[in-house]
Amino acid sequence: MSQLKRKAEVVHFAEIPGVNCPCGVAKRAFAETEELPLTVHVTEISTDAQVHYHKTLTETYYFLSCEADAKMQLDDEIIPIREGMCIMIPPGVRHRAIGKMKIINVVTPKFDPADEHLD
Q: pLDDT value at position 61? A: 98
Residue 81 neighbours by CB distance under 10 Å: 21
Please give the sequence-ordered ranges of beta strands (E in DSSP) within 1-119, or none if there are none.
Answer: 19-21, 24-29, 39-45, 52-53, 58-66, 71-74, 77-80, 86-89, 95-98, 101-108, 117-118
Residue 3: pLDDT band by 50, 70, 90 thresholds? low
pLDDT 10s digits, 72-99: 999 999 999 999 999 999 999 999 999 9
Paired strand residues for 45: 24, 101
Q: What is the mean pLDDT of residues 53-69?
A: 97
CATH architecture assigned to 18-114: Sandwich (2.60)
